[in-house]
Amino acid sequence: MIDPATLHRRARRVLPEKIGTDAVIVEAMDDATLTMLLFPLAHRRRGCLLFRLSSQTIAALVARTAGYLQDARQAREGLGRWTRPLTYTAWRSQGQGASQRFDARSDDGRAALCLLPAAACAVYVWDDRGLQHTDLFPAPR
């Protein structure tokens, strides 16, 4: 079995460098997601990953929200050996206090990223067919 540090290193490729995380929240993953992360040949067409945000990232989001994420628009690495890193749209800020969140979509419309500072969590979702018809992170009512 793979160690937690290696799993985290592989999974965080989809995140911009500025978004620091401490771990992948493994308890939230099913066996298919773990297999996809451990064995690159087992590609999963859609899914979700949860990350625990680092305390430095949480503090930066609370203190300098818009400025901090302004240039956090490219993933650390490509998902495959010869693929380019994902690029994300401009970040949206919604809510305030405990309900504050920040979200962005990949430019190709196949992935989305949501940061929830109060929950110390980052949520990454993807669907190879596209997420265009779904507002994964609607504005609170």
Q: Above 60 in pLDDT, residue 133?
A: no
* Rounded-to-integer distance, Cα 80 and Cα 103, Å: 24
The answer to whether the CB of 16 falls within 8 A of the CB of 88 is yes
For residue 27, what pLDDT is reported?
A: 64
For residue 28, what pLDDT is reported?
A: 58
Which tokens is 32 given? Answer: 């298919």
Single pTM value for the model: 0.81
pLDDT in tens, 60-110: 988 876 688 988 999 988 766 667 888 999 999 888 888 889 999 999 888
* Rounded-to-integer distance, Cα 103 and Cα 93, Å: 7
Averaged pLDDT, 50-68: 87
Query: Is the pLDDT higher at 129 or at 85?
Result: 85
pLDDT band at 17 (very low <50, low <70, confident <90, very high): very high
For residue 12, what pLDDT is reported?
A: 87
Helices and strands (H and E) in the chain: how many: 4, 6
For residue 97, what pLDDT is reported?
A: 80
Averaged pLDDT, 113-127: 92
For residue 5, what pLDDT is reported?
A: 81
pLDDT band at 51 (very low <50, low <70, confident <90, very high): very high
> What does the mean pLDDT of the chain come to?
80
For residue 139, what pLDDT is reported?
A: 53
